[in-house]
Structure 1
Amino acid sequence: MRRTTTARRGLAAAALALTLGLSLAACSGDAGADPSASPSASSTSAASAADTAALAKVTVEGDAGAKPTVTLPSTPFTVTSLVARVVDEGTGAEITEGQTVSVHELAVSGTDGSAIGDTYSGTPESIVADDQLAPPLHDVLVGQKVGVRILIAAPGDSGTNVYFAEVVDAKDTPPVPARAEGEAVTPPAGLPTVTLDADGKPSITPLTTAAPTTLVSQTLIKGAGAPVTADQTLTVNYTGWLWDGTQFDSSWDTGDHATFALSGVIPGWTQGLTGQTVGSQVLLIIPPDLGYGATASGKIPANSTLVFVVDILAAS
């Protein structure tokens, strides 16, 4: 669950992981190069000609592998739809459908051109280059080569942001299991009862007692994988309920795993899943101060205690 809404892959891997991660998240030129000069510089046909032309005027300076300088032609910079283009083609191995790519990123505010954040001093973000990505991002990744540098402009509620991304690695994506697998753990008394159907989808029997005021992170199934670290990107299945048992979201219902940077979710998820092992199923009870606090979010009222059952399927 992201800081503002439940995590889903989609909008440019949620516009690459900077809106998403530094979330979705969470979802890159030689110095002095003219960005529009690249043979692959055009965006996909889904973007308007005006948006494509606008992104072509954004310039990138800096050497490959180093944090670049991204300059907008004017501010506020706006586009009406997600648009992406290649700035510099890579020289490494070809990026193929379904691979997991590691990308360094930098985000720039379209409002005033200021930097929002970047990953160059830390760990690259990971996204899967498949058809669950928004088409513009998919089209500037798949078929390109490691080292490709791209620009993305994404409109949002608070204005347009521009994202630079540089692919530093691409690896085949291990198959993701459908559910948690491992040793069952008997939880202590006093927690909502979790029941799994034949496919592993959870349901809960809520309690009528007062909700806990501190974070509960209870392992229900202990997976055999490595411990999760706070800087990783997770793939999970999950369901979320209010304390009274009202369900507000579930990846099981959509048939699609959720993928997100653990650094870009509500604090209860970051704290409660860090240290758990891959393959585990975890019951989280998150008090309001580690969730959305006094702010309502979608179907979640303000000051809500949240209950999640999370299957940790993969981490990268």
Structure 2
Amino acid sequence: MRRLRTGRRGMAAVALTLTLGMSLAACSGSADDGSSPSPSASDAESAASAADNAAADKIKVEWSDDAAPTVTLPSTPFSVTTLVVDVLEPGTGAEIKDGQSISINYVGVSGADGSVAHDSYSTGPEPGSMNATSALGDLIGEKVGVRFLLAIPPQSEGQDTTVVAGEIVDAQDVPTRASGEAVAPVPGLPTVTLDADGKPSMTPATGTPPTTLVVQPLIKGAGPEVTAGQTVTVHYSGWLWDGTAFDSSWDRGEPFPVQNVGQAAVIAGWNEGLVGQTVGSQVLLVIPPDKGYGDQDKGTIPPNSTLVFVVDILAAS
């Protein structure tokens, strides 16, 4: 039996953390400044949500044992204005919990014409992170094997609604930080300090940065070695050589999955530096420009920058 749900209000945005060839972020209609919406705005949002629920309920999904489900839209172009999460079939496995690492199979369909934009059933399940504020957050408390439908509104002018039908095929607990045997610091490298939760801060080293990739474990985990082709779940923070911070999964509140490590869609320093490390480890990567972004200008990362990352390897599968 289909159980229709509307994505949570009160969020500036929700995002489905998957390896997609499209954006799956969906904006709610709530104010970003913390103020309560006016009664008329709230009524309008409720009416839009009801209309979107009704529209999504008309989408037909036919499941196959050995291929992607077939998604048939009631008409094209199909569109919604709010995120809709529709539980199509309950799972029978273990309960899915907030913060877990999940594996998911799904097919994404364009609302413009019903064409398939992405199909993981043909390539294998893809990784994601279950988070209460994500588009899949409403599936927390469901069980592994749950089949669902998402109707995701356009994210910017010119984009179309996306419809996703899929199933969560696995869910695993993930540690929140590295754990293992501390490794003595190496002179000449940046110094790393951890707060009570394990989030790193970095004191830059003096002198000229290295010209070759440095892979220095700070904590040696007791888990298995990471092998090429695995999906590695990590927490990380990144700085320029001078100590200027530019990115951190800790600040976003959820780990980052590196799919097909060794040939992942990340910089070479990560692909080379993570393979061979053990799960549970914390690794300092000092990445010269030729293993990073080279002469590209990445906004907060100037051309020809040496990058410093502290990476906690939480899981690998």
Give the alignment's TM-score, normalised by structure 1: 0.68
- Separation (CA, whole Å) in 1 of partners of 2:297 and 2:50: 37
- Among candidates 237, 240, 244, match of residue 239 of structure 1: 237
Aligned length: 277
- Separation (CA, whole Å) in 1 of partners of 2:225 and 2:302: 32
- Separation (CA, whole Å) in 1 of partners of 2:246 and 2:279: 25
Aligned 8 A contact 2:127 2:257 in 1: no
Alpha-carbon distance change, 170 to 293 in structure 1, aligned in 2, over 3 angstroms: same
Corresponding residue for residue 40 of structure 1: none
1:309 deviation in Å? 1.0
Structure 2, unaligned runs of 5 or more = 1-11, 26-44
Which letter does structure 2 place at the counterpart of 1:163? V
Aligned 8 A contact 2:96 2:144 in 1: no
- Separation (CA, whole Å) in 1 of partners of 2:63 and 2:130: 25
Corresponding residue for residue 39 of structure 1: none
- Separation (CA, whole Å) in 2 of partners of 1:67 and 1:56: 20
Aligned 8 A contact 2:129 2:254 in 1: no
Corresponding residue for residue 90 of structure 1: 90
1:145 deviation in Å? 3.8
Structure 1, unaligned runs of 5 or more = 1-9, 26-43
- Looking at CA atoms only, which structure, 1 or 2, has the larger radius of gyration? 2
Find the residue that maps to 1:120 and give its secondary structure. Answer: helix
Alpha-carbon distance change, 50 to 289 in structure 1, aligned in 2, over 3 angstroms: farther
Corresponding residue for residue 183 of structure 2: 184
Alpha-carbon distance change, 299 to 78 in structure 1, aligned in 2, over 3 angstroms: farther
1:123 deviation in Å? 4.2
1:150 deviation in Å? 1.2
Matches within 5 A, 1:196-275: 196-197=193-194, 199=196, 200=198, 201-209=200-208, 212=211, 215-253=213-251, 256-263=253-260, 265-268=265-268, 269-275=270-276
1:57-91 Cα offsets, whole Å, 9 max, x none, are 443333145322334456665444433212x3135
Q: Percent identity?
A: 49
Give the alignment's TM-score, normalised by structure 2: 0.68
- Separation (CA, whole Å) in 1 of partners of 2:68 and 2:83: 23
Aligned 8 A contact 2:127 2:259 in 1: no
Aligned 8 A contact 1:225 1:277 in 2: yes
Find the residue that maps to 2:312 and give its secondary structure. Answer: strand
Corresponding residue for residue 168 of structure 2: 167
Aligned 8 A contact 1:238 1:310 in 2: yes
Alpha-carbon distance change, 308 to 66 in structure 1, aligned in 2, over 3 angstroms: same
Find the residue that maps to 2:136 and give its secondary structure. Answer: helix
